[in-house]
Amino acid sequence: MTNICYLVGTAGSGKTMLTSSLQQYLITKGASLTTVNLDPAVQYIPYKADIDIRDYIDYDRLVDEYKLGPNGAMIAAADLIADYIAEIREDIEELGESSAVVLVDTPGQMELFAYRNSGLKISESFPKDTSFLTFLFDSSLVSQISGFISISLLATSVQIRLNLPVTHVITKVDLLKPHQVDDIIAWREDPYEAIEELYGMTREFSARAGQIIEGMSEIPLIPVSALSGEGLELLSAQISRVFVAGEDWSI
Amino acid sequence: MTNICYLVGTAGSGKTMLTSSLQQYLITKGASLTTVNLDPAVQYIPYKADIDIRDYIDYDRLVDEYKLGPNGAMIAAADLIADYIAEIREDIEELGESSAVVLVDTPGQMELFAYRNSGLKISESFPKDTSFLTFLFDSSLVSQISGFISISLLATSVQIRLNLPVTHVITKVDLLKPHQVDDIIAWREDPYEAIEELYGMTREFSARAGQIIEGMSEIPLIPVSALSGEGLELLSAQISRVFVAGEDWSI
């Protein structure tokens, strides 16, 4: 069985840093894990990738050979992932079989993974009941109510698109004051009052957006800091609950 | 007065091609317009940009001088836009004053414009009542119901984030069969039945997503093809209705 956790979030939300910190944390806890880099355009990753899409796709060659600009090359590189699905699946199955969890760090620009075809194809090539998404709420965006609602709808959009269960994390909480984290958690529990303060939305629309957010109350929301390590224990416990309740590394 | 229309949509949805076709169409109709390229990382644009962010931000220099990879350089370039807001605003006001409309082609990777700070700062630097978004529904994504719901929620997310009125267009309809366009329009009018066919969503969640989509029924949805010109007349009429009802170029 291959248990897969995809880390997904907007550009700069901290996917790669969280992958790195989570990897270190899980190794310290004695977990067996496989770490995958799925970003063909990344230059430096601060963790050891057991499987690396860059072994199959050479971004710089795409730029040179096809004279593509960065936008076109990034789209082409992300789309090319679909051509290597069989290889990637084989790699993941081979290493993942003996791992408690496979951490998958997805492309930096989220829309290339979530809204083009290769991300869907990758996620569909593994059983749904042993895969889930960790969606990153970038603290610099969600500390304001309009950003929070916007990213909540985005998370829902990605969840529907990839059709997988999800856990939410707030990243880089070391940059927030404690009351800001409390605010975000309070908005999720009762979004209506906060939404009403937003300029420019009709009452009907606010109510609908509120319902979507209220409907998220069952989804765990874990504040984490890849820098200080805050929240990694909770996130690790959540991964453990999803996949291997009761294993040693589950705190 | 400066009337601004931002073209926004996921990577590859056809923003630049639509900007180009719309520019040609409007010029043919005798409209006075200003066209702005806000993508610092684009290499080739098929239209004449009256204002071009690349005159201020040199993507290749960022790559060379700061040794950034493509992900980092794109984020840095998009974030740098915020440093030139005063200049960009001045340019737009100067040319836009005598134009019926200012078309703004936004960065290729939508999340860099919509979910980082510079997009919000640009949109906030002009009055809200003379700005609006044209959000592009990529036909290759929205011809399936899960993609349609997902992109509808994404459009709502971006609308809330940038806090501007919106018009929706389905792009590249030359790639769809007529019944596929009809399906998309039907899903919008009555999303519930289609949503029920989706695997893996609770009844409650489906109902909530349905309500959001039903709530969009007041937003125009225009099928367009930048290639064949289909729908440009309707889109142009919609821009005209928003800004300058009754002008000559308004068909």
Contact yes or no for B70 and A70 at CB 8 A: yes
Task: Write the DSSP string, chain A.
Answer: ---EEEEEESTTSSHHHHHHHHHHHHHHTT--EEEEE--TT----SS--SEEGGGT--HHHHHHHHT--HHHHHHHHHHHGGGGHHHHHHHHHHHHTTSSEEEEEPPSSHHHHHSSHHHHHHHHTS-GGGEEEEEEEEHHHHTSHHHHHHHHHHHHHHHHHHT--EEEEEE-GGGS-HHHHHHHHHHHH-HHHHHHTSTT--HHHHHHHHHHHHGGGGS-EEE--TTT-TTHHHHHHHHHHHH-TT-TT--
C-alpha span between B151 and B170 (Å, rounded): 11
| Domains and their CATH numbers in chain A | 4-244 (3.40.50.300)
| Neighbouring C-beta atoms of residue B65, cutoff 10 Å | 9
Measured between alpha carbons, how far apart are the two ends of chain B, in Å?
22
Q: Closest-CA residue in chain A for B120?
A: A147
Report the pLDDT value the prediction gives residue B246, as an integer from 0 to 100. 46
Helix axes A85-96, A117-124, angle to 10 degrees: 40
The token duo for B69 is: 């990879």
Among B41, B71, B128, the residue with its CB nearest the CB of A71 is B41
Which CA distances in Å does B125 have to B129, B151, B190? 12, 27, 37
The token duo for B202 is: 């609770």
Report the pLDDT value the prediction gives residue A52, as an integer from 0 to 100. 98
Which one of A8, A39, A68, A157 makes the best mutation probe of the B interface by having the most chain B beta carbons within 10 Å?
A157
Is the minimum CB–CB distance between A50 and chain B shorter than 8 Å? no
Contact yes or no for A161 and B138 at CB 8 A: no
Report the pLDDT value the prediction gives residue B205, as an integer from 0 to 100. 75
What is the average pLDDT value for chain B, to the nearest integer? Answer: 91
A residues 66..125 contacting B (CB < 8 A): 68-75, 108-112, 115-116
Report the pLDDT value the prediction gives residue B154, as an integer from 0 to 100. 94
Say if the ipTM goes beyond 0.95. Answer: no
Is the minimum CB–CB distance between A142 and chain B shorter than 8 Å? no
C-alpha span between B113 and B134 (Å, rounded): 14
pLDDT in tens, chain A (251 residues): 789 999 999 999 999 999 999 999 999 999 999 999 999 999 999 999 999 999 999 999 999 999 998 999 999 999 999 999 999 999 999 998 899 899 999 999 999 999 999 999 999 999 988 999 999 999 999 999 889 999 999 999 999 889 898 999 999 999 999 999 999 999 999 888 888 777 666 777 778 888 888 888 889 999 999 999 999 999 999 998 888 654 445 43
Q: Judge whether B145 and A156 are in contact, CB under 8 Å.
A: no
A160-191 in b/e burial notation, b at 16+ Cβ within 10 A?
A: bbbbbebbbbbbbbeebeeebbebbeebbeeb
Report the pLDDT value the prediction gives residue B244, as an integer from 0 to 100. 66
> What is the arithmetic mean of pLDDT over B15-43?
96
Task: Write the DSSP string, A195-228.
Answer: HHTSTT--HHHHHHHHHHHHGGGGS-EEE--TTT
Q: Judge whether B135 and A121 are in contact, CB under 8 Å.
A: no
Report the pLDDT value the prediction gives residue B102, as an integer from 0 to 100. 96
Measured between alpha carbons, how far apart are the two ends of chain A, in Å?
22
Q: Judge whether A74 and A111 are in contact, CB under 8 Å.
A: no
Report the pLDDT value the prediction gives residue B250, as an integer from 0 to 100. 42
Is the minimum CB–CB distance between B12 and chain A shorter than 8 Å? yes
Q: What is the pTM of this model?
A: 0.92
Chain A residues in contact with B166 (beta carbon < 8 A): none
Q: Judge whether B209 and B149 are in contact, CB under 8 Å.
A: yes
Chain B residues in contact with A119 (beta carbon < 8 A): none
Which CA distances in Å does B202 have to A6, A221, B192? 22, 19, 13
Contact yes or no for A42 and B160 at CB 8 A: no
Helix axes B70-80, B117-124, angle to 10 degrees: 20
> What is the arithmetic mean of pLDDT over B27-53?
96
Report the pLDDT value the prediction gives residue A141, as an integer from 0 to 100. 93
The token duo for B225 is: 């093809």
Report the pLDDT value the prediction gives residue B199, as an integer from 0 to 100. 64
Report the pLDDT value the prediction gives residue A248, as an integer from 0 to 100. 46
Quote the Cα angle for B10-B237-B120, to 5°: 40
Token pair 């990577």: residue = B11
The token duo for A35 is: 């770490």
Under 8 Å CB pairs connecting chains A and B tally to 152
Q: Which of A134, A80, A209 is nearest to B153 (CA)?
A: A209
Which CA distances in Å does B193 have to B90, B187, B197? 49, 8, 7
Compute chain A's Rg from CA coordinates. Answer: 18
Report the pLDDT value the prediction gives residue A251, as an integer from 0 to 100. 34
pLDDT digits (tens, 9 = 90+) for B163-216: 898 999 999 999 999 999 999 999 999 888 888 777 666 777 778 888 888 888
A residues 165..204 contacting B (CB < 8 A): 198-201, 204
The token duo for B3 is: 């009337």
> What is the arithmetic mean of pLDDT over B137-163?
92
